[in-house]
Chain A
Amino acid sequence: MHYFVNQHNLKQMDKTKSILLLEDDTVDVMTIKRAMKQLNFENPLHVVSNGEEGLEYLKLTKELPGLIILDINMPKMNGLEFLDHMKQNEQWRIIPVVVLTTSLDQNDKWSSFQLGIAGYMVKPVDYDRFRDMMDTLKKYWGFSESAN
């Protein structure tokens, strides 16, 4: 199974809400942007390259993102550490987080779900499948209305 999205945690999509992407790999960032463009995502995308920058972004932004897409393997503060921090904040913890990773480590998956993620997606080797995955996100992701 390449991805799992808990649809009960995801609500109707709101085009005005932004997406925060935590990804340090430039090629993967471009891949995600490309897929979003091809799938006509209209939501603004903000990209940061590690957990520290992600927390900083959440502290400083005027409007919280409606969805966080999170890589696990990042320098400085990795995805799981970021999740642990953000879930301790009452305002941030309700933002849906979808993990997007190459990690096949079951511990990463288990820890992510323990920390309350909405979905876990393993980057496939085939771009068309990757786009399908992003399409699933587009169809089913939702924003916590009380976030912000």
Chain B
Amino acid sequence: MKNVLYIEDDIVDQMAFRRMMKEHSKEFTCTIVSSITEFKKLPDINVFDVIITDYYLGDGGAEDVMNAFPNRKLIVVSGSINERLGNTEYLRYISKPIDYSLLIQAYQWVMQNNGGNKNGKFQYLDLTYLNQLGHGDNEFMKEMLQIAKEELIQNLADLNNSWQTDDYGGIKFHSHRFKSRSRILGLGLEEKANWVEFNANSSQKEAIRNTIDLFQNICDKVLVEIEIAKQSFD
């Protein structure tokens, strides 16, 4: 049974989607939320095998979902030809009304490489850089992963602490350091960290807080993935 999340603010489209999923209820379970706000309140996005979102929502749109999970494959639906997006590494577009066969094709695309994992193994962690560095030395890889893990934990604790104490210099400093962590571990969060670094002292407090929360949420998963990766080098 595959777990599908559908983000859609149009009640008619929600009903049509529910009806379609009901016809295939042995294959799919479906969760529907009506806004980006509701989407952000979901406790764990990783329980969903596939995320489908409407292009435009009342309080945001597909780009918000993409930005929140930059390394996850996403299916975007839209009824307007003007909103049609080109397919990319992480995005497939299908038009409304959703045709089940097209949905299945898009679903199969998402599930390629073990559900959209970047390197066929992990959802967030990408060991390309470390593999180049390690050059087949398993002990070195384990050591690097352990150090990266410890520094990631400390880095996020420092970043959160700086936020809580309104230490803008600290936010700037620790978000800068987070870029290195992201680069080495292949998390793809360097641009977001760069944004925090250069906006640490700006009025965009909520956006900064949300971005730090995003780092924390992703890194909670990354820490688990690092442990799995370490075991693979035993």
Residues of A within 8 A of B (CB): 25-28, 30-31, 34-35, 38, 73, 75, 102-105, 123, 125-128
> Is B204 on the interface with A (CB-CB < 8 A)?
no
User: Closest residue to B173 on the A side, CB-wise?
Assistant: A73
A26 to B180, CA, bound (A): 11
- Asked whether A25 lies within 8 Å of B183 as measured between CB atoms, the reply is no
- Asked whether B194 lies within 8 Å of A31 as measured between CB atoms, the reply is no
- Asked whether B135 lies within 8 Å of A26 as measured between CB atoms, the reply is no
Q: How many A-B residue pairs have CB under 8 A?
A: 46
- Asked whether A25 lies within 8 Å of B135 as measured between CB atoms, the reply is no
> Is B171 on the interface with A (CB-CB < 8 A)?
no
- Min C-beta distance of A53 to chain B, whole Å: 17
Which secondary structure characterizes the binding site on chain B? helix
B122-159 interface code vs A (CB 8 A; 1 in, 0 out): 00000001101101000010011001100100000000
Residues of B within 8 A of A (CB): 129-130, 132-133, 135, 140, 143-144, 147-148, 151, 173, 176-177, 179-181, 183-184, 190, 194, 198
Residues of A within 8 A of B198 (CB): 105
From known contacts A27-B180, A28-B180, A103-B176, infer whether A126 and B151 are also in contact, taking CB-CB under 8 Å. Answer: no
- Asked whether B173 lies within 8 Å of A34 as measured between CB atoms, the reply is no
- Asked whether A125 lies within 8 Å of B183 as measured between CB atoms, the reply is yes
- Min C-beta distance of B149 to chain A, whole Å: 10
Instruction: Known A-B contacts: A27-B151, A31-B133, A34-B140. Give 16 more (CB < 8 A).
Output: A25-B151, A25-B180, A26-B151, A27-B148, A27-B184, A30-B147, A34-B133, A38-B135, A75-B173, A102-B176, A105-B198, A123-B180, A123-B183, A125-B190, A126-B132, A127-B133
A27 to B150, CA, bound (A): 10
A104 to B179, CA, bound (A): 11
Q: Which of B135, B144, B173, B194 contacts A27 (CB 8 A)?
A: B144
- Min C-beta distance of A119 to chain B, whole Å: 19
Residues of A within 8 A of B184 (CB): 27, 31
Residues of A within 8 A of B135 (CB): 38
- Name 7 interchain pairs, CB-CB below 8 A, sorted by A: A27-B148, A27-B181, A30-B143, A102-B179, A103-B176, A104-B194, A127-B130
A35 to B198, CA, bound (A): 30
From known contacts A75-B173, A102-B183, infer whether A127 and B132 are also in contact, taking CB-CB under 8 Å. Answer: yes
Residues of B within 8 A of A31 (CB): 133, 184
Residues of A within 8 A of B179 (CB): 102
Q: Which of A30, A73, A105, A125 contacts B177 (CB 8 A)?
A: A73
Residues of B within 8 A of A123 (CB): 180, 183
- Min C-beta distance of B91 to chain A, whole Å: 21
Residues of B within 8 A of A38 (CB): 135
User: Closest residue to B194 on the A side, CB-wise?
Assistant: A104
Residues of B within 8 A of A102 (CB): 176, 179-180, 183, 190
- Min C-beta distance of B70 to chain A, whole Å: 14
A26 to B176, CA, bound (A): 15
Residues of B within 8 A of A75 (CB): 173
A38 to B132, CA, bound (A): 11
- Asked whether B133 lies within 8 Å of A25 as measured between CB atoms, the reply is no
From known contacts A73-B177, A75-B173, A125-B190, infer whether A27 and B132 are also in contact, taking CB-CB under 8 Å. Answer: no
